[in-house]
Structure 1
């Protein structure tokens, strides 16, 4: 299985960070695109998390930004989650 996240010089593009223009209550709500290829044929769903280990010096623990579960596999050769849009307790995905 191959997972691809496009980066700018090794970092997430600014539009997905605290510098984002799309925010709710001052917090960015647009997540970065994720592409998964060569998915094993027996895969039925995914769980994807974003855990920020760089936050340990500030928070004292790895910060869990988000966790998405039960993402169905519709094509076992490619899963492309273009973005997650978070608004309060509502999460919707836009995928291909």
Structure 2
């Protein structure tokens, strides 16, 4: 059974570590740039992926099932999923 998070649009990418995991938590990373990360995470040359992405305007996409390790956690704790929220622009 594929582990998809409700309310997130499922957009599978080919960049994954491929390892099956039993996640115990979620690690926040910061997305670079604006908009969907799908094109970047689906490009093998990027050598990057995350389980989830959340945009500033409320968009939500899932790229890697929650029971599969994404490349964002490749060197990190392999028991965690990853999410790339788009950080707000700081006030000046």
The TM-score with structure 2 as length reference comes to 0.25
Give the structure with the higher percent strand: 1
Structure with the greater relative contact order (CA < 8 A, sep ≥ 6): 1 or 2? Answer: 2
The TM-score with structure 1 as length reference comes to 0.24
User: Which is higher, the Rg of structure 1 or of structure 2?
Assistant: 1
